[in-house]
Amino acid sequence: MSGSLEVLEAFEANPQGYDLIITDMSMPNMTGDQLARELIAIRPDIPIIISTGFSEKINEKQSRQLGIKAFLMKPATKSEIIKTVRKVLDESKG
């Protein structure tokens, strides 16, 4: 899925069907932090990773306060993405 509204609609229909959400800060219709707020309101334990190239709207500290589990700065390498996903999933199962 690529659009924030599409993601939100699918998540609302089946919130337990997702182990992890990775979202970009810049998306049409809704920013990544807005989407994260909506998803967390539906399912507070959903692990969310937010990715951004540059953002004056949110930083890692702010994202943590929202309940976002990790913050990736672009460009992220495959290794960084894999490590972040593994860490977030491990922490969510812990």
Global pTM value: 0.89
CA distance 3 to 83: 25
- Identify the CATH assignment for 4-93 out of 3.40.50.300, 3.40.50.10860, 3.10.450.50, 3.40.50.2300: 3.40.50.2300
Domain boundaries, the chain: 4-93
Res 56: pLDDT = 63
Express each pLDDT in 5-53 by its tens digit.
999 999 999 999 999 999 998 888 999 999 999 999 999 999 999 998 8
Res 55: pLDDT = 64
Stretch 80-89: mean pLDDT: 98
Res 1: pLDDT = 66
| Cα dist from 81 to 37, 51, 63, 77, whole Å | 22, 10, 17, 6
